Structure 1
Amino acid sequence: MAKLTKAQREWRPGMPRKRRSTKVMFASTVLLLEAFVMFFATLAVFGLRRGEFPPAVILGVGIALCVVMIVACAFLTKPWGIGLGWILQLVLILTGIFEPAMFLVGTLFAAAWWYGIRTGIRLDREAGERAREQAAWEAAHPEEAGPG
């Protein structure tokens, strides 16, 4: 028999699904896109500046940053997760020291990060308000609400 997760063990019929955060979804999308860009920027620096830096250092640091950006997605629900994302935005911008085009790319991604966080917070707040209003209406009109 398959092992059930905590959420699966605690589920009961008629329980509403927990709403996923739009802010976390937007932030994860930006971080994953940044990981891809970081990978290709690593390859560019490897090809263009191999004589200036040891190849193992270029590939090691670049791939490590890619992995950190991907793993950071798992921590976005933690209170410090968004702060980690901001730090990664700064790191991405600072990679422009090695490849000047990354100053622009990093700044554009930081703007996308800011917009995604700001818009996600607003959408999550609006969804919470709609859910509360729906629950209040269903409590006031139980005969019209129907099952589920």
Structure 2
Amino acid sequence: MRTLCSSTLIGEFFVIGFAGLVAMKDEDLSTSTVWTVCGIAMFLSLVLCGLVTRPGGVVLGWALQIALIASGFVVPAMFFLGVVFAALWWASVHFGRKVDEAKARFAAQAGSSGADAA
């Protein structure tokens, strides 16, 4: 699960940065505000790469997905991109857990067959 979720979060890191560049064109927003918000969100996406397998990591990932969708109020294209990344996040968590379960079953089978051979 870690690999799939981390890949999604790294993709979000870049999308958040590009959204910051687009948001800078809005005269109502100061550059410092845009980059403070974007910087925090980018930092969180990187930190979550390491926390995704810890308790609450997936929940924090969902919070980031909601924030990404909500950023569409500032950069309208982020409504679409936020939904796309939320779908990718769901798929990463769902299929990542299935892969982890399959790996655990395979390791258990390999361990039991290795004990039988000895």
TM range (shorter): over 0.9
TM-superposed deviation, 1:77: 2.0
Matched, 1:93 2:62: no
Q: Kindly indicate whether the alpha-carbon contact (under 8 Å) linking 2:70 and 2:79 is maintained by their aligned counterparts in 1.
A: yes
State the Cα distance separating 1:30 from its structure 2 match: 0.5
Shift of 1:73: 1.3
Indicate conservation of the 8 Å contact 2:13/2:42, yes or no: yes
1:12-51 to 2 correspondence within 5 Å? 23-47=1-25, 49=26, 51=27
Larger Rg: 1
Higher helix share: 2
Task: Report the secondary structure of 2:64's partner residue.
Answer: helix
The number of residue pairs the alignment matches comes to: 118
2:2·2:53 contact (CA, 8 Å) conserved in 1?
yes
Q: TM-score normalized by structure 2? A: 0.96
TM-score, structure 1 as length reference: 0.77
Residue 52 (structure 2) pairs with residue 76 (structure 1): yes
Q: Deviating runs (4+, > 3 A) in structure 1?
A: none
Structure 2 residue 29 is matched with structure 1 residue 53: yes
**Gapped runs of 5+ residues in structure 1?**
1-22, 143-148
Identity score, percent? 31
Gaps of 5+ in 2: none
Q: CA deviation at 1:71?
A: 1.2
Tell me by how many angstroms 1:87 deviates.
0.4
